[in-house]
Chains A and B, each alone.
Chain A
Amino acid sequence: MRQTPLRQVHERLGATMTEFAGWLMPLRYGSETAEHLAVRSSAGLFDLSHMGEIAVTGPAAGEALDYALTGWLSRLKPGQARYTMLCAADGGILDDLVVYRQADDRFLVIANASNTAVVLAELADRCPPLGAVVADETASTALIAIQGPNAPSILAPLASADLGGLKYYSGTYGEVAGRPAWVARTGYTGEDGFEVFCAAEDAEHLWAAALSEAGTPEAGAAELRPAGLAARDTLRLEAGMPLYGNELGPDVTPFEAGLGRVVRLDKPGDFVGRKALAEVAAAVEAGTAPERTLIGLAARSRRVPRHGYPVLSDGAEVGTVTSGAPSPTLAMPIAMAYVARGTTGPFGIDVRGRVEPAELVKLPFYKRSQQA
Chain B
Amino acid sequence: MSVPAELHYSEEHEWVSIDGDIATVGITDYAANALGDVVYVSLPTVDSTVSAGDPCGEVESTKSVSDLFSPVDGAVTEVNEELDDDPGLVNAEPYGAGWMFRVRIPASPDGDVVLPPGLLTAAEYEELTKTNS
* A28 with B60: CB separation less than 8 A: no
A236 CB–B CB distance under 8 Å: no
B130 / chain A contacts, CB cutoff of 8 Å: none
* B58 with A33: CB separation less than 8 A: no
* A303 with B37: CB separation less than 8 A: no
* A326 with B36: CB separation less than 8 A: no
* A230 with B65: CB separation less than 8 A: no
**Given contacts A16-B33, A31-B91, A326 and B39 within 8 Å (CB-CB):** yes
Q: How near does chain A come to B127, taking the closest CB pair, in angstroms?
A: 21
* A33 with B37: CB separation less than 8 A: yes
Closest to A331 in B: B39
Question: Which one, B33, B60, B62, B91, contacts A230 given CB within 8 A?
Answer: B62
B33, B58, B60, B88: residue with the most chain A Cβ atoms closer than 10 Å: B60
A27, A234, A325, A326: residue with the most chain B Cβ atoms closer than 10 Å: A326
Q: Is the interface of B mostly helix, strand, loop or mixed?
A: mixed
Chain A 210-269 interface residues, beta-carbon cutoff 8 Å to B = 230, 233-234
Question: Which one, B42, B62, B91, contacts A325 given CB within 8 A?
Answer: B62
CA distance A33 to B33 in the complex (A): 13
Closest to B84 in A: A302
* B63 with A303: CB separation less than 8 A: no
A306 CB–B CB distance under 8 Å: yes
B37 / chain A contacts, CB cutoff of 8 Å: 31-33
Chain A 1-45 interface residues, beta-carbon cutoff 8 Å to B = 16, 27-28, 31-33
* B33 with A326: CB separation less than 8 A: no
Q: How near does chain B come to A135, taking the closest CB pair, in angstroms?
A: 35
B33 / chain A contacts, CB cutoff of 8 Å: 16
A304 CB–B CB distance under 8 Å: yes
* A326 with B60: CB separation less than 8 A: yes
**Given contacts A31-B91, A32-B36, A326-B40, A302 and B60 within 8 Å (CB-CB):** yes
Closest to A332 in B: B39
CA distance A352 to B65 in the complex (A): 10
> Scoring B residues 15 to 43 as 1 if CB is less than 8 Å from chain A, else 0, what string do you get?
00000000000000000010011011010
Q: How near does chain B come to A323, taking the closest CB pair, in angstroms?
A: 12
> How many residues on chain A are close to B (CB under 8 Å)?
16
* B42 with A32: CB separation less than 8 A: no
> Scoring B residues 88 to 109 as 1 if CB is less than 8 Å from chain A, else 0, what string do you get?
1001000000000000000000
Q: How near does chain B come to A1, taking the closest CB pair, in angstroms?
A: 16
* A304 with B91: CB separation less than 8 A: no
Chain B 50-85 interface residues, beta-carbon cutoff 8 Å to A = 58, 60, 62-65
* B42 with A33: CB separation less than 8 A: no
* A28 with B40: CB separation less than 8 A: no
B63, B65, B88: residue with the most chain A Cβ atoms closer than 10 Å: B63
* A230 with B40: CB separation less than 8 A: no
A16 / chain B contacts, CB cutoff of 8 Å: 33, 36
A326 / chain B contacts, CB cutoff of 8 Å: 39-40, 60, 62
B63 / chain A contacts, CB cutoff of 8 Å: 32, 230, 233, 325
**Given contacts A33-B62, A230-B62, A304 and B39 within 8 Å (CB-CB):** yes
CA distance A306 to B61 in the complex (A): 11
**Given contacts A16-B33, A230-B63, A303 and B40 within 8 Å (CB-CB):** yes
A302 / chain B contacts, CB cutoff of 8 Å: 39-40, 60
Q: How near does chain A come to B92, taking the closest CB pair, in angstroms?
A: 10
B36 / chain A contacts, CB cutoff of 8 Å: 16, 27-28, 31-32, 230
User: Can you list 14 A-B pairs with a CB-CB distance of less than 8 A?
Assistant: A16-B33, A31-B36, A31-B37, A32-B62, A33-B37, A33-B39, A302-B39, A302-B40, A302-B60, A303-B40, A303-B65, A304-B60, A304-B65, A326-B62
Which A-B residue pairs are the 6 nearest by beta carbons?
A: A326-B39, A302-B40, A33-B37, A304-B60, A32-B62, A31-B37
